[in-house]
Amino acid sequence: MLNTAFWKEKKVFVTGHTGFKGAWLSLWLEYMGAEVYGYALKPPTIPSLYEVCQVESRLASVTYNDIRNLDALCLAVQSAKPDIVIHMAAQPIVRKSYVNPRETYETNVLGTVHLFEAVRCSLAEGNSIKAVINVTTDKCYDNKEWDWAYRENDVLGGQDPYSNSKACSELLTTAYRASFFSGAKGLAVASVRAGNVIGGGDWAEDRLLPDCIAAIIKGESIQIRNPSSVRPWQHVLEPLGGYLHLAEKLVTGGETYAEAWNFGPDESEVYSVEQVVGMLCAKWGGEATYQTQLPADHLHEARMLRLDCSKAKLRLGWKPQWNISETLDKVVEWTQSWIKNENMVKSSIKQIKEYMGEKST
């Protein structure tokens, strides 16, 4: 379990804090007593978890700006004087990367360069940053569509601009760590590769669960375009818990943990798109239905993707807490609470406490 005392009064700089994962992470950090400094564009969707849970009011400071603005990013990092930096800002959608590859590379590659440059500037100013985590993706691997799971030392690649840009971000992490941060007093840099995250409060475009829930709420049949595709589905709190575990190790163990890490479900938790959608419909109840359709644009998306997370389990003591059934229960519970106009800060913190094994009140 997490050492919550470790996080009390820790200064944590989070890029992309207005996104789905960033908002959940910010809530979790604030709940544990950390001082969170956010840097991101305004929330990417309306509604958004960030606004529904009034995340801004819970943070120490927020800066609304683009990760591609180096001067603004450097100023924000230097002003925050963080202990830990977690870089989550990204263009995260595969199909959008086909439409606008330049923006995808500028955000995901140059944005990573800017993050590391801002860290370098802050160190030069005498600020002490203990750990930096660059959040990439499970799609950074050169996916051969094979059935076994990818390990951290497998070849990087990516056919689409999004996946490829994240592989580039991984290579940048390695280069900056070796060129500028190796041996730096007290600073450890790692990258993290998570599976497909799902959870309450995700309204992103062109993502499976948000599309499903939007259709259900409208009373429409869910349309799925790649029913046989397999992904490492996991609740959003699973990889976030892994990042928090890793950050603790980076601060206390230094460069011993300064490398790449996978965070995904147990290998027995292998489900296709159609299986996940079928389970969601059953759990939602009522008239929730789905049907398959062929994609109109025929853009390439990988059929099979699995992660080997044995390293994180063995060396970090991290392991998944919820299976796919429990994960979908949490998604339905959160969404139906939102539909009923309940207090979503309370509902979100309740799920965080449940994930941590704490009793909800």
The bridge status of strand 230-231 relative to strand 271-272 is antiparallel
CA distance linking residue 200 with residue 24, whole number of Å: 10
pLDDT digits (tens, 9 = 90+) for 238-293: 999 999 999 999 999 989 999 999 999 998 898 999 999 999 999 998 889 999 88
Q: Would residue 80 count as lying in a domain?
A: yes
Secondary structure (DSSP) of 98-121: HH-HHHHHIIIIIHHHHHHHHHHH
The per-residue pLDDT for 299 is 65
Q: Would residue 294 count as lying in a domain?
A: no
CA distance linking residue 261 with residue 173, whole number of Å: 12
Q: Would residue 310 count as lying in a domain?
A: yes
The per-residue pLDDT for 185 is 72
pLDDT digits (tens, 9 = 90+) for 321-354: 999 999 999 999 999 999 999 999 999 999 999 9
Could you tell me which of 6, 54, 82 has the C-alpha nearest to residue 244? 6
Q: Would residue 337 count as lying in a domain?
A: no
Could you tell me which of 109, 120, 238, 116 has the C-alpha nearest to residue 164? 109
Mean pLDDT of all residues belonging to the chain? 94
Q: Over range 78-83, report the average pLDDT.
A: 98
Give me the domain span that covers residue 114.
8-195+233-266+301-322+349-355
> Tell me, what amino acid is at 39?
Y
Q: Would residue 98 count as lying in a domain?
A: yes
Q: Name the one residue in this structure whose structure tokens are 């041996």.
A: 183
pLDDT digits (tens, 9 = 90+) for 29-59: 999 999 999 999 999 999 999 999 999 999 9
CA distance linking residue 277 with residue 198, whole number of Å: 12
Domain containing residue 25: CATH number: 3.40.50.720
Q: Would you place residue 300 in the very low, low, confident or very high pLDDT band (cuts 50, 70, 90)?
A: low
* pTM, 2 dp: 0.95
Q: Would you place residue 1 in the very low, low, confident or very high pLDDT band (cuts 50, 70, 90)?
A: confident
Per the DSSP assignment, residues forming a β-bridge with 87 are 15, 134
CA distance linking residue 286 with residue 283, whole number of Å: 9
Q: What are phi and psi of 45, to 5 degrees?
A: -135, 160
Report which DSSP code applies to 333: H
Using DSSP, state whether 315 is helix, strand or coil: helix
The per-residue pLDDT for 254 is 87
Q: Would residue 95 count as lying in a domain?
A: yes
Secondary structure (DSSP) of 169-212: HHHHHHHHIIIIITT-TT-EEEEEEE--EE-TT---TT-HHHHH
pLDDT digits (tens, 9 = 90+) for 110-160: 999 999 999 999 999 999 999 999 999 999 999 988 878 999 999 999 899
Cβ neighbors of 327 (< 8 A, separation 6 or more) are: 198, 199, 233, 234, 235
The answer, yes or no, to whether the previous bond of 47 is cis (omega within 30 of 0) is: yes
pLDDT digits (tens, 9 = 90+) for 58-72: 999 999 999 999 999
The Cα diameter of the chain in Å comes to: 60
Per the DSSP assignment, residues forming a β-bridge with 190 are 133
Residue 56 buriedness (CB in 10 A; 0-12 / 13-18 / 19+): middle
3-state helix, strand, coil in the chain (%, to 5): 45, 15, 40
Q: Name the one residue in this structure whose structure tokens are 């925050």.
A: 80
Beta strands in 256-299 (DSSP E): 260-263, 271-272, 290-292
Q: Would residue 204 count as lying in a domain?
A: no
Q: Name the one residue in this structure whose structure tokens are 């001082």.
A: 35
The per-residue pLDDT for 39 is 98
Q: How many domains does the chain have?
A: 1
Query: Is 361 a residue whose pLDDT tops 60?
Result: no
The per-residue pLDDT for 285 is 87
Q: Would residue 113 count as lying in a domain?
A: yes
